[in-house]
């Protein structure tokens, strides 16, 4: 170890350093007080118990390192523990014996601590090099061991990664944590969370000051405390963005994890119980009460604070649940874990085991590495946060794993040593862990509770058996069989056989509804209708039993088919109305032959309630809802403008589902050309995409400013975009700056609603699974997505075409206001589009413009930007939408991303069988879309609007530049790159 003594440094005269230079036995009480005053100035040491801090002052030493000094090397046997008082140090790790191969994996800043390996005399796990001139507090091994034995509980709770990742995330007792993991002291809470704590405390003191007061319990007085249950109640009363008590618990847990809200006995989990919690500002005896201005400001910012916490609360709740021992997890806890696990990439193919994993998973954190090559495999890991390198001796880093990836399973399955080392690429990585014993038990239990029906030695139906408790005390519990996968015919057969006939046919059956909603993917109407007819005509003919028994069996079979048909029509009225096979199936006589009152009743219901009420009512209400913009249907014709290489064009009338071959044939016929033509999608940036002859609905592939060209192969290289594709050369701010932001948002929402209402839910399915395979159009969905892109580009175009700095600042303010009103109107699609437009590199790089933006608008934008990636927490977004009263215009790109993830890797089909569990998840997205538009949207233009028609025309005809290169060039002209 190389160090420079303090006396050689300019700060050597500091009194506290002189005191630390004395031998511990020579330090007086005054010396200890001087050292103590200095250490209290380090924020991280505020968490230490006063007695422990005093002991450190009595035995610690001062060390000063100049920049570039190696404190110790990886593999050395340690002699001291260190805490950083100023400066910073790099942590370097090498997977070989050569220290020159060491890679810096993180940096230790002020308040961090390291070196606990001296407790068990293990070699140093990393090399420590000073990044800059640094001051350290050093405690020698003997004294540190003494402190650890005496203050183990206190120190184990304080030595933890940032945000309490180790102490918060481990499900084992802190005293059992591997010492190499307890390396970093709690850091100062983030500015955002500190502001949230202060705002919530001041808002409580303004609205309900009785909640924060001295409380007595068991003859002991606790100063300035709140009760957990009261805090949850208060949150639920303040905002609709708090969905449930569990959600509120997660929001308070965020504050608890960052140390700005503390349990009086330092418990790690926030609980909705009569337990006492204290805000950070109330920790001091002379806590300052907020002024009237502070209270007023807190009330103004309360909704913004709650919205931010509501977004990150579910993550904290998830961590809190995973810390619980498996036996203490409630049914609600398991449901929350299950919902989150379904969106983890590593588990995408393990649908039938996810529910079992919910019981045993725990969350873990590591500092440098997870395990080393050659070690025994004891656990399987899934990356919840962060990334790792996979390192093999002699080869170095062979790959990098990111959030959602897993590792370590092979060693468990093969019972072999680890084949590689796993080294962290960044700080504060979190992992979900399944231990070997639980892993093997799950495999056994899942297989034991899996029922497989085979034909010709092949699985045709896979069911999962679970015990369903009875809701009545006198009825015993029974087994429930859930369809996991199977052939379409066997799934249909199972659902019909298990259909209950003792309940009203309008009562929902979740499994049946999932089948009805998703059958188009794996069993189109052309297959489903004949299969149902076979059930009526063949399967209903029982070959055994008395005549009455055979009759009852026949009647029951037909009742099941009719009940399914009625449910089918109720859920998919439009879809049936547009399909001739479905309509003919409804009128097939073999279904309606009745010899029993139950069949007659169902037949009457099917004709009267289904056709005349369900179908026609849905169709008429749809026509009324879409009066201003009609949906494009698969059997419609459209006008298609196709350009030639000389920029002339021809107009064709073709079916919506016309293929590329049919369109090129129609162009050649109209032009009288005998050449073989290519159909080209030419973007505004000049990119060319040759459309395939079998592509259906080719017009749907066009971008915002894209155009369709037909040319010979020789003309392909000479194709250039049209002048109109370049977009505007001047901004339109002069046109819309006088328009009210609320009017603009209202008209945008009205137009978005018309587009959204035209989208049939099945278009999301065909978009996910590929419209080419099903020869179905997704034209309405593509128009809606194109509008989303257009609004983004509108924001970027207007800013980049605004040459005056003050005008650009006004533009940003205008867009932030419009976004706020869109969110108020529950138009999440345009809200996110506007924010994403402002995040575009061509806009976000305009530092001079952003600097001039008033702080109030910067705060609004920061809040909006924090909501921009709800895909980080699907559950938070889904809960937000579910809590809203419809009508809602959802953030459609996220819904599509969610469905695509579920289907990713063709995991919705396994060895030719339908993965019905995945189909259920996609069906839930369809239900979410239906919830969003379950009420009609009533557009109310603001009374202050002077010319609503002008605003309406403007928002429906946005002219934009759809070329990122052009937008970036304009941006650099506005504000050149600083040298």
Domain CATH number, residue 144 = 2.60.120.10
Q: 594-608, 763-777, 915-929, 960-974: which range is least confident on average?
A: 594-608
- What's the pLDDT band for 95 if we cut at 50, 70, 90? low
Same domain, 150 and 23: yes
- The answer, yes or no, to whether residue 937 has pLDDT greater than 60, is yes
In whole angstroms, give the CA distance from residue 69 to residue 64: 10
In whole angstroms, give the CA distance from residue 529 to residue 535: 10
Domain count, the chain: 5
In whole angstroms, give the CA distance from residue 790 to residue 798: 12
User: How many other C-beta atoms can be found within 10 angstroms of the C-beta atom of residue 478?
Assistant: 9
CATH number at residue 222: 1.10.10.10
Same domain, 814 and 957: yes
Reported as a single tens digit per residue, the pLDDT across 864-916 is 776 766 545 566 677 678 778 899 999 998 888 878 877 764 467 766 789 88
Segment holding 157, helix H or strand E: helix 152-158
Same domain, 751 and 889: yes
Backbone angles phi, psi at 968, to 5 degrees: -65, -40
In a domain, 460, yes or no: no
Same domain, 250 and 297: yes
Most confident by average pLDDT, 159-168, 536-545, 878-887: 878-887
Same domain, 749 and 705: no
In a domain, 780, yes or no: yes
Give the pLDDT confidence score for residue 907 in this predicted structure: 65
Q: 99-108, 150-159, 963-972: which range is least confident on average?
A: 150-159
pTM (2 d.p.): 0.69
Residue pair 189/243 in contact (Cβ under 8 Å)? The answer is no
Examine the fold and report which residue of 292, 307, 323 is the final residue of a domain before the chain moves on: 323
Give the pLDDT confidence score for residue 215 in this predicted structure: 93
User: How many other C-beta atoms can be found within 10 angstroms of the C-beta atom of residue 5?
Assistant: 11
- What's the pLDDT band for 594 if we cut at 50, 70, 90? very low
- What's the pLDDT band for 188 if we cut at 50, 70, 90? low
* Secondary structure tally for the chain: helices H, strands E: 39, 30
Examine the fold and report which residue of 308, 323, 338 is the final residue of a domain before the chain moves on: 323
Which whole number is the average pLDDT over 352-379?
Answer: 76
CATH number at residue 531: 1.20.870.10
- DSSP characters for 875-936? HHHHHHHHHSPSP-B--HHHHHHHHHHHHGGGTTEETTEEEHHHHHHHHHHHHHHHHHTSS-
In a domain, 380, yes or no: no
Residues spanned by the domain of 549? 487-602
Here the tokens at position 609 are: 């309630």
In a domain, 831, yes or no: yes
CA-wise closest residue to 661 among 646, 671, 673, 676: 676
Reported as a single tens digit per residue, the pLDDT across 461-502 is 989 887 665 555 555 556 778 888 899 999 999 999 888 766
Give the pLDDT confidence score for residue 588 in this predicted structure: 57
- The answer, yes or no, to whether residue 16 has pLDDT greater than 70, is yes
In a domain, 332, yes or no: no
326 Cβ contact list (under 8 Å, min separation 6): 359, 360, 362
- The answer, yes or no, to whether residue 245 has pLDDT greater than 50, is yes
In a domain, 396, yes or no: no
CATH number at residue 812: 1.10.840.10
Examine the fold and report which residue of 725, 759, 778 is the final residue of a domain before the chain moves on: 725
Same domain, 870 and 814: yes
CA-wise closest residue to 94 among 71, 74, 78: 74
CA-to-CA dists, residue 617 to 513, 724, 760, angstroms: 21, 44, 17
Give the pLDDT confidence score for residue 175 in this predicted structure: 30
In a domain, 715, yes or no: yes
CATH number at residue 623: 3.10.20.90
Give the pLDDT confidence score for residue 854 in this predicted structure: 92
Same domain, 825 and 949: yes
155 Cβ contact list (under 8 Å, min separation 6): 52, 147, 148
Same domain, 595 and 635: no
In a domain, 979, yes or no: no
Reported as a single tens digit per residue, the pLDDT across 831-874 is 999 999 999 999 999 999 999 999 888 878 877 776 766 545 56
**CA terminus-to-terminus distance, the chain:** 41
Same domain, 238 and 149: no
Give the pLDDT confidence score for residue 157 in this predicted structure: 47
In whole angstroms, give the CA distance from residue 506 to residue 115: 67
Same domain, 957 and 911: yes
Share of the chain above pLDDT 70, in %: 81
Give the pLDDT confidence score for residue 266 in this predicted structure: 81
In whole angstroms, give the CA distance from residue 100 to residue 130: 16
Q: Alpha helix locations (H) across 159-227?
A: 165-169, 191-207
Same domain, 230 and 291: yes
Burial of 625 (0-12, 13-18, 19+ CB in 10 A): middle
- What's the pLDDT band for 181 if we cut at 50, 70, 90? very low
CA-wise closest residue to 939 among 884, 864, 891, 889: 889
Same domain, 931 and 881: yes
């Amino acid at each position: 170890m190389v160090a420079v003594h303090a006396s050689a440094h300019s700060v050597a005269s500091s009194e506290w350093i002189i005191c630390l230079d004395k031998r511990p036995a020579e330090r007086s009480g005054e010396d200890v007080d001087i050292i103590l005053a200095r250490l209290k100035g380090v924020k991280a040491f505020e968490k230490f118990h006063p007695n422990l801090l005093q002991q450190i002052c009595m035995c610690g030493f001062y060390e000063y390192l100049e920049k570039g000094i190696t404190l110790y090397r990886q593999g050395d046997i340690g002699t001291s523990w260190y805490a950083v008082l100023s400066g910073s140090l790099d942590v370097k790790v090498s997977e070989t014996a050569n220290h020159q191969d060491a890679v810096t994996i993180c940096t230790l800043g002020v308040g961090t601590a390291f070196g606990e390996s001296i407790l068990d005399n293990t070699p140093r796990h990393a090399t420590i090099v000073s990044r800059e001139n640094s001051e350290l507090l050093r405690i020698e091994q003997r004294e540190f061991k003494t402190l650890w034995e005496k203050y183990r509980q206190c120190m184990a709770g304080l030595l933890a990664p940032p945000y309490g990742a180790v102490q918060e995330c481990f499900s084992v007792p802190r005293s059992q944590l591997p010492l190499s993991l307890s390396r970093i002291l709690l850091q100062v809470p983030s500015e955002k969370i500190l502001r949230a704590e202060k705002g919530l405390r001041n808002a409580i003191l303004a609205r309900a000051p009785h909640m924060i007061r001295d409380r007595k319990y068991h003859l002991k007085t606790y100063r300035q405390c709140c009760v957990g249950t009261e805090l949850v109640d208060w949150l639920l009363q303040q905002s609709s963005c708090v969905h449930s008590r569990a959600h509120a618990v997660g929001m308070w847990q965020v504050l608890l994890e960052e140390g700005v809200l503390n349990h009086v006995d330092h418990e790690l989990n926030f609980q909705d119980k009569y337990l006492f919690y204290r805000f950070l500002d109330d920790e001091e005896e002379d806590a300052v009460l907020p002024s009237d201005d502070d209270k007023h400001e807190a009330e103004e910012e309360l909704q913004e604070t709650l919205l931010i916490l509501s977004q990150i609360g579910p993550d904290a709740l998830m961590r809190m649940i995973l810390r619980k021992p498996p036996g203490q997890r409630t049914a609600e806890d398991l449901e929350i874990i299950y919902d989150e696990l379904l969106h983890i990439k590593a588990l995408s193919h393990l649908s039938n085991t996810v529910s079992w994993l919910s019981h045993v998973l725990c969350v873990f954190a590591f500092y440098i590495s997870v395990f080393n090559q050659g070690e025994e495999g004891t656990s399987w890991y899934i990356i919840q946060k962060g990334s790792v390198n996979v390192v093999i001796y002699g080869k170095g880093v062979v790959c990098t794993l990111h959030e959602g990836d897993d590792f370590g399973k092979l060693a468990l399955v093969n019972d072999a040593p680890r084949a590689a080392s796993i080294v962290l690429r960044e700080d504060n990585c979190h992992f979900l862990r399944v231990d070997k014993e639980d892993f093997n038990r799950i495999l056994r239990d899942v297989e034991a509770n899996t029922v497989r029906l085979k034909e010709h030695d092949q699985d045709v139906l896979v069911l999962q058996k679970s015990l369903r408790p009875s809701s009545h005390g006198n009825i015993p519990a029974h087994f429930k069989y859930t369809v996991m996968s199977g052939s379409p015919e066997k799934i249909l057969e199972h659902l019909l056989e298990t259909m209950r006939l003792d309940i009203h046919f309008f009562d929902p059956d979740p499994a049946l509804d999932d089948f009805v909603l998703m059958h188009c993917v794996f069993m189109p109407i052309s297959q489903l209708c004949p299969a149902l007819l076979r059930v009526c005509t063949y399967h209903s003919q029982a070959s055994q039993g008395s005549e009455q028994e055979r009759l009852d069996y026949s009647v029951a079979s037909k009742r099941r088919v009719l009940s399914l048909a009625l449910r089918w029509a109720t859920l998919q009225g439009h879809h049936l109305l547009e399909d001739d096979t479905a309509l003919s199936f409804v009128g097939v006589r073999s279904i309606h032959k009745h010899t029993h009152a139950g069949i007659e009743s169902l037949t009457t219901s099917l004709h009267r309630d289904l056709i005349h009420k369900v179908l026609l009512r849905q169709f008429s209400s749809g026509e009324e809802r879409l009066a201003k913009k009609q949906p494009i249907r698969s059997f419609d014709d459209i006008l298609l403008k196709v350009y030639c290489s000389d920029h002339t064009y021809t107009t064709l009338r073709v079916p919506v589902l016309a293929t590329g071959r049919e369109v090129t044939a129609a162009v050649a016929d109209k032009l009288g050309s005998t050449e073989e033509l290519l159909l080209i999608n030419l973007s505004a940036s000049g990119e060319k995409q040759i459309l395939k002859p079998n592509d259906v609905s080719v017009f749907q592939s066009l971008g915002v400013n894209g155009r369709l060209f037909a040319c010979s192969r020789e003309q392909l290289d000479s194709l250039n975009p049209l002048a109109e594709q370049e977009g505007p050369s001047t901004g339109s701010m002069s046109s819309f700056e006088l328009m009210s932001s609320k009017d603009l948002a209202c008209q945008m929402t009205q137009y978005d609603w018309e587009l959204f209402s035209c989208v049939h839910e099945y278009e999301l399915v065909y978009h996910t699974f590929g419209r080419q395979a099903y020869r179905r159009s997704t034209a309405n969905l593509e128009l809606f997505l194109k509008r989303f892109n257009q609004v983004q580009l509108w924001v970027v175009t207007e800013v980049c075409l605004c040459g005056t700095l003050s005008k650009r600042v006004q533009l940003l303010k205008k867009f932030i206001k419009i976004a706020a009103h869109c969110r108020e109107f529950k138009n999440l699609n345009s809200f996110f589009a506007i924010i994403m437009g402002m995040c575009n590199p061509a806009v976000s790089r305009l530092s001079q413009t952003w600097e001039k933006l008033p702080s109030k608008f910067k705060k609004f934008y920061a809040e909006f930007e924090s909501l921009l990636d709800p895909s980080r927490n699907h559950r938070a977004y889904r809960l937000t939408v579910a809590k809203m009263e419809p009508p809602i215009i959802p953030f459609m790109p996220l819904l599509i991303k969610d469905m695509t993830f579920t289907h990713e890797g063709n995991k919705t089909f396994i060895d030719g069988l339908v993965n019905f569990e995945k189909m259920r998840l996609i069906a839930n997205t369809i239900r979410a879309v239906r919830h969003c538009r379950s009420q009609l949207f009533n557009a109310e233009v603001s009374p202050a609007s002077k010319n609503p028609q002008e605003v309406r025309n403007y928002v429906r005809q946005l002219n934009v530049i759809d070329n990122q290169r052009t937008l970036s060039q304009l941006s650099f002209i506005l504000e050149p790159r600083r040298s």
